[in-house]
Amino acid sequence: MGSVQGLLRLLLLSLFAASSFSRMHSPWDDKIAMQTEEEAGEIEEGVRWAILIAGSSGYGNYRHQADICHAYQILKRGGLKEENIVVFMYDDIANNEENPHRGKVFNKPYGPDVYPGVPKDYTGENITVSNFYAAILGDADATKGGSGKVVASGPNDHVFIYYADHGGAGVLGMPNDPILYADEFVDTLKKKAAAGTFKKMVIYVEACESGSIFDGLLPTGLNIYVTTASDPDENSWGTYCPTMIPPPPPEFGTCLGDLYSVSWMEDAEMENLKKETLNDQYRIVKSRTSDNDTYMTGSHVMQYGDIEIDAEEVERYLGFDPANENVTRPELPVSKAPATASGMHVMQREAELLHLWHKYHKAVDGSKKESAGMELTRTIAHRMHVDNSIKLIGDHMFGLDTSLLRLKAVRPAGQVLVDDWSCLKAMVRTFEASCGPLTQYGMKHMRAFASICNAGIDLDTMKKATSQACGFSETDTDLRTADSPRFSASAKEFVKTIEF
């Protein structure tokens, strides 16, 4: 009996010593025992993550990077941690020689500087489709260049993706080749969903024809909700542009923002996002982006994916700014009759010309004016070359009578743009081999390439057509010799005929 009692005492002493040792050497005991309310909330509701991406470069595309910088400031005020926000931005406008306020970026006339503190995760040549997809999938090992920051989300987390740039049917622009194709983007989203590394995802896309990225492609059941700036067959619009009311300060000469983008961001800044639902925001943004329901200089904001997610509060994705705590529920738009269009927004694809025209117009006589005139004239010449080449190819494929109708054919809503995405990509490569790069403007013709594929036309036929259409160098045309002495006589007069 004594030996048993001795053994029990020994065991109790051992347990006490082990417990004491554990308390002395485990720095986590107090945290586990005293879990904060914030930590408990994160476990239950998950972490907020975001990817912000501007798909363009150049001062003429100022508005896209301004949009992204503005979005970052909203997320930061909403409580998202910097390590959970991945930013893709070429970063060539803040300190651009054309920027009248060097080192600053503005997204609205006389608004705040939105550039301070914006992370430089992926800039310049590191803004690529592959890095974008790696960031979505949380695969840091797959990134090349940049910070390596990715969305390392878990099954309870909420993810927000916001893209701003040019687009075309089935594609989104990128500042470095290749461009983003819808099938690959949606496949990446499917992989993310299959991995179970998020609870729900919200995607906002600002681009022309952005609805075509998801229409007929994005299935339901992935817990992904999307809104786009436009339907599958229309332009999106720049705003706060020269000639608009209100205009940007006169020294800018370029658009400061995009209509859909500033609509959702300016709404987010004035609402209590704990009380505003995604559907509330969609209705508010849809009304403003439609140009007062006239669509004169506006577009149709669309919804795709698991639309029922729009019943959730915006706060789950954008966070919550305590400054708006006392704001009541948002005032939703009502139909107006008769509606009055502002008529003052600028089509995305024309914003570049607007900038170049103002650059030429404001330049003093001399070499700067000559250079600005050359840049504008070359841009117009390239656009004419692309448009004419596509028309000639269509005439060869379909005949003069039906060419334009066949090239611009739009499939019914809910039907995917093209049956064979490999064919679409091959047709674009073939065109560029003979006719030169499409550029961001040429993406307007992606539907023509899709129509060629859907008509069953093979690659050899396309090669012959592009060779015939572009068998000459566009540098042989008068407009492309803008750097010659003839520019001063002819191109200057041509530029003077352009009005905005």
pLDDT in tens, 463-487: 999 999 998 544 434 333 333 333 3
10, pLDDT greater than 50: no
Under 8 Å between Cβ of 450 and 408 = no
The residue among 438, 439, 446, 426 whose CA lies nearest residue 175 is 439
What 3-state DSSP class applies to 399?
coil
CA 57-287-327 angle, 5° bins: 95
d(CA 335, CA 329): 19
The residue among 233, 212, 235, 228 whose CA lies nearest residue 299 is 235
pTM across the whole model? 0.87
Structure tokens at 127: 């803004």
The residue among 278, 259, 258 whose CA lies nearest residue 268 is 278
d(CA 430, CA 436): 10
DSSP letters, 205-263, are: EESTTGGGGTTTTS-SSSSEEEEESS-TTS--EEES-TTSSSPPPTT--S--EEHHHHH
203, pLDDT greater than 90: yes
DSSP one-letter code for 491: I
Q: Quick one: pLDDT at residue 293?
A: 87
Ranges in the chain annotated CATH 3.40.50.1460: 42-324
- 95-119 average pLDDT score: 97
Bridge pairing between strands 237-239 and 346-347: antiparallel
State what percent of residues in the chain have pLDDT above 70. 84
Ranges in the chain annotated CATH 1.10.132.130: 363-490
Which residues are paired to 113 by β-bridges?
106
* 215 contact partners, CB below 8 Å, separation of at least 6: 232, 302, 304, 413, 414, 415, 416, 417
Under 8 Å between Cβ of 55 and 132 = no
How confident is residue 335, by pLDDT bands cut at 50, 70 and 90? low
d(CA 210, CA 184): 15
Read off the pLDDT of residues 242-282 as tens digits, 9 standing for 90 and up. Answer: 988 888 998 999 999 999 999 999 999 999 999 999 999 99
Q: Give the lowest-confidence range in 49-58, 87-96, 98-107, 481-490.
A: 481-490
Mean pLDDT of the chain: 87
Q: Quick one: pLDDT at residue 341?
A: 60
Higher-confidence position of 417 and 493: 417
Q: Quick one: pLDDT at residue 63?
A: 98
Q: Quick one: pLDDT at residue 20?
A: 37
Fold of 363-490: Topoisomerase I; Chain A, domain 4 (1.10.132)
Q: Quick one: pLDDT at residue 231?
A: 98
Fold of 42-324: Rossmann fold (3.40.50)
Catalytic residues: 166, 208
Q: Quick one: pLDDT at residue 339?
A: 61
